[in-house]
Structure 1
Amino acid sequence: MKVAIFFDGKNFYAGWREQAHGQRLQFARLARWLQQRVQGTMLTGCHYYTGVETGEEANSDGQKKLAGFLDMLELQPGYFVYRYPRKSRTFRCAECGADNRFSQEKEVDTAMVADMVRLAAVNAFDMMILVSGDADYTSAIEAVRQFGKIVYVASWGGTGLSFQLRKVAFDHIDLLEGLADFEDNTPAWTPPNAAPSQSHPSSLLP
């Protein structure tokens, strides 16, 4: 049976950091483990969605690391990365009158939902794994199931997993159960006469 995997990048990273402590991962192995976990015979794609900063914020160290991570992920077999600009917002503190800026992901959820339903409609997969616990995807899972598809949800130990989302899914997959199979235990390569690196592509922000 054909399997498609959809990652909500922000949700995936939050659980990865909290439950797996940011352990370096082999993403090709992660995809293979998930495919085997649902007894799928063919992986049609791993679709990874995340928001990115624009403007001056795009030059921050965090965003540069994120860009490096996403570039690395796009080179992994079967992975497709979708970047959406985060929307900048400003609010004024009622007490001190100071203006505060923040950014929000506005397109990631809607893009994921549209792609999941569209691909289900054209029979691009028989089984779908949603790596997220966000309740906003509940209706999308129900829509995908209407096309006769089996839908799993995956999370890091249930972190951030909505009860409503879990109820409409066929089953839950705990990524912590497979961490030993897809964690990256290889030592980071350090150039001669260089200081030890503090980063690795698979340990950067998604």
Structure 2
Amino acid sequence: MLRLFRKKRSDVKVVYRYPNEKVAIFIDGGNMFHACNYMQIKINYKKLIDILRKDRWLLRAYFYTGIPSGDLPRDVREQLRKQQGFLNELQNLGIKVKTMPLKKTPEGYIEKGIDILLATDMVSLAFRNAYDTAILVSGDSDYVPVVKEIQELGKRVENASFKRTSSYELRKVCDEFILLDNIKHRFTTPLYPEKIEKPPEVRFIDRIKEFFSKIIKKEKGRKR
């Protein structure tokens, strides 16, 4: 009987699920890089994808990033080598990697066109009815018009991002928002783990010396 008088909570958000829901995940690599660089963390993308997909059928996860090209300085070539190794690891995990050349400026290299490439894929796959829900892993407000267009096609859009690079406008327009800061312990590790100092090892010869030293002390005590 007491249940009849309980007040209903108005702050509980009801999330509706489709039967046999198909999801596609779109990861803005540059946006994630800036957040990781600030927070000094490393992302395990396989774990992140598993968390975001939940128990739903995953069409594919896409990762978008820019890469330097042309005549590169030695330090940039070394960075490119490391980046290529990272991208190869993603592809081995079944993540579809899509790249565009970085634009060189007097201040360095900047990304151009990555957001357009990502948005084009989101809309194109929505038109083809390839997924029911798009999961956009980015905090860039430039994606707001794209999200609205996809919703007009009858699709849902979920947004996942870190607070550092999250846009309020993007969060507001999406059907669901996942703050990655709250669950980062499940898919990240520190970029520079603290080194745990091991106690110095005691050599066997030192143990022998200590053993005989104790015996000598005991013998001296008896003689007194």
TM-score range with shorter-chain normalisation?
0.7 to 0.9
Identity %: 33
Q: SS of 1:57's equivalent?
A: coil
Runs of 4+ in 1 over 3 A off after TM superposition: none
Which residue, 83, 86, 97 being the options, matches 2:102? Answer: 86
Q: Note the residue ranges of structure 2 that are not aligned, 5 or more in a row.
A: 1-20, 191-224
Alignment coverage as a number of residue pairs: 169
Rounded Cα–Cα distance in structure 2 between residues aligned with 1:85 and 1:58: 15
Q: Is the 8 A contact 1:6 1:128 kept in 2?
A: yes
Give the partner amino acid of 1:133.
G
Alignment match, 1:200:
none
Q: Which structure: larger Rg?
A: 2
Rounded Cα–Cα distance in structure 1 between residues aligned with 2:147 and 2:59: 18
Per the TM alignment, residue 58 of structure 1 is displaced from its structure 2 partner at its CA by 7.3
Q: Which is bigger in relative contact order (C-alpha 8 A, separation at least 6)?
A: 1
Q: TM-score, normalised by structure 2?
A: 0.69
Rounded Cα–Cα distance in structure 2 between residues aligned with 1:58 and 1:105: 18
Rounded Cα–Cα distance in structure 1 between residues aligned with 2:93 and 2:50: 12
Question: What's the RMSD between the two structures over aligned residues?
Answer: 2.0
Q: Note the residue ranges of structure 1 that are not aligned, 5 or more in a row.
A: 90-99, 186-206
Deviations 1:72-92 (A, max 9, x none): 111113x10001001223xxx
Per the TM alignment, residue 166 of structure 1 is displaced from its structure 2 partner at its CA by 1.4
Alignment match, 1:196:
none
Q: TM-score, normalised by structure 1?
A: 0.75
Q: Where does 1:1-206 land on structure 2 (aligned, <5 Å)?
A: 1-19=21-39, 21-23=40-42, 25-36=43-54, 40-57=55-72, 60=76, 61-77=78-94, 79-89=95-105, 100-156=106-162, 158-183=163-188
Give the partner amino acid of 2:97.
V
Per the TM alignment, residue 153 of structure 1 is displaced from its structure 2 partner at its CA by 1.0
